């Protein structure tokens, strides 16, 4: 049986899947870097763009953002500070708990997200030209989502993955 890469066969383990996900994520950040350059935007990093998409149209607490995006606290704090200073994120004290900050995107952030979304919509139209390609993307998404849930359950309940 030949593999997709036509290289030596690799035993598929959870470790190999995690390594592949990490490499794919890095390539995606590289793609975002190219898109930011095309847009002439140099005051935000690809990782910070991902934070913007995690916030989306919602108003979140910092804690909600961390849980939703699975970010490391200190790294997210630094990036959020940068995003506030660059006018991508509006940060305000919560009305209920003044110690807690609420986050929402500014118009500048929404415009950037729309421009990036438009580029990706174009790429998606080109890459999923037939039903088979679209089904493969959906299958990949569903498999990765189930894997995420399996690993989350393993952490919560202490069961081996």
Express each pLDDT in 120-139 by its tens digit: 888 777 776 777 888 888 99
Tens digit of each residue's pLDDT (9 = 90 or more) over 76-90: 889 999 999 999 999
The upper half-sphere exposure of residue 56, i.e. CA atoms within 13 Å in the direction of its Cβ, equals 8
For residue range 104-120, what is the model confidence (pLDDT) as tens digits? 999 999 999 999 999 88
Helix ranges restricted to H, the chain: 14-38, 46-55, 62-69, 73-85, 107-127, 131-157
pLDDT of residue 50: 93
In this predicted model, which residue has the larger pLDDT, 71 or 24?
24
């Amino acid at each position: 049986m030949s593999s997709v890469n036509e290289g030596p066969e690799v035993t598929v383990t959870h470790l190999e899947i995690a390594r592949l996900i990490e490499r794919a994520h890095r390539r995606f950040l590289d793609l975002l870097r190219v898109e930011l350059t095309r847009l002439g935007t140099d005051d935000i990093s690809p990782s910070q763009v991902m934070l913007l998409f995690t916030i989306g149209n919602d108003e979140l607490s910092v804690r909600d953002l961390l849980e939703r995006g699975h970010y490391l606290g200190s790294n997210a704090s630094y990036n959020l500070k940068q995003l506030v200073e660059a006018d991508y994120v509006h940060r305000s004290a919560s009305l209920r708990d003044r110690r807690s900050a609420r986050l929402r995107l500014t118009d500048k952030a929404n415009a950037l997200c729309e421009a990036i979304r438009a580029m990706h919509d174009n790429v998606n139209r080109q890459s999923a030209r037939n039903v088979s390609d679209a089904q493969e993307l959906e299958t990949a998404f569903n498999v990765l989502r189930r894997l995420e849930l399996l690993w989350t359950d393993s952490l919560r309940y202490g069961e081996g993955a």
